[in-house]
Amino acid sequence: MKKWIWLTMILTCAFVFAACTDGKDDAAPANDTEGATDGEVNEGTNTDPADVDLVEDDKLPFLTVNLTDRDGKSVGTAELTEEEDALRVMVDAKNLPEGTHGFHFHEKGVCEAPDFESAGGHFNPTGASHGLDHEEGPHAGDLPNLEVGPDGTVKEEFFVENLTLLAGEENSLYHEGGTSLVIHAEADDGKTQSSGNSGDRIACGVVE
């Protein structure tokens, strides 16, 4: 009789344990991601669009100036990039006369061929004297000379501390009326007023 009682108790415990185990297997956490596709898992970690906009808004200004000659033909580009403490000017041009050429930002955003006189004088918001070598200079728009090779090409990079692409600044190239970038026929001597004796204007591009 006692054997039957013990056997009954053992069988009862076994059924209770089995029932508890089945309950645990069936109950899955509500936020379990097991079995989700890669796209579903990654969706929760994607960058918020608002954060992307902030990153894009923090990018420094950049633009490309298209340079054309007196016949209206493209001779290359100048890429302008706002850096932390200077404006970077990267020139990549071709089909120019070999030699040294004056290179300046001018005060008006108009490039009418064939003489480009429509660009006005050098960009000079502070009223300084012309020339990188002048004791009371330079104009904000004065740049180093370009050195064009025998094949008519030039690739040079300059960093200009007294210019900016940021609107509202006194030395911004986005001032009222715009500005332009001009290549001259001769070298700029760095001191002669008011253009360094750099001769005719042979190429021009509007900063826009």
Domains in the chain: boundaries = 60-207
Of 19-33, 104-118, 145-159, 184-198, the one with minimum mean pLDDT is 19-33
**Candidates 3.40.1590.10, 1.10.10.10, 2.60.40.10, 2.60.40.200; CATH matching 60-207:** 2.60.40.200
Average pLDDT over residues 179-193: 94
Return the pLDDT at 93. 98
Return the pLDDT at 84. 85
How far apart (Å, rounded) are the C-alpha atoms in residues 186 and 145? Answer: 9
pTM to 2 decimal places: 0.70
Return the pLDDT at 167. 84
Q: Please confirm whether the linkage preceding 29 is cis (ω < 30° from 0).
A: no
In tens, the pLDDT along 111-152 reads 999 999 999 999 999 888 887 877 776 888 889 999 999 999
Between 9 and 129, residue with greater pLDDT:
129
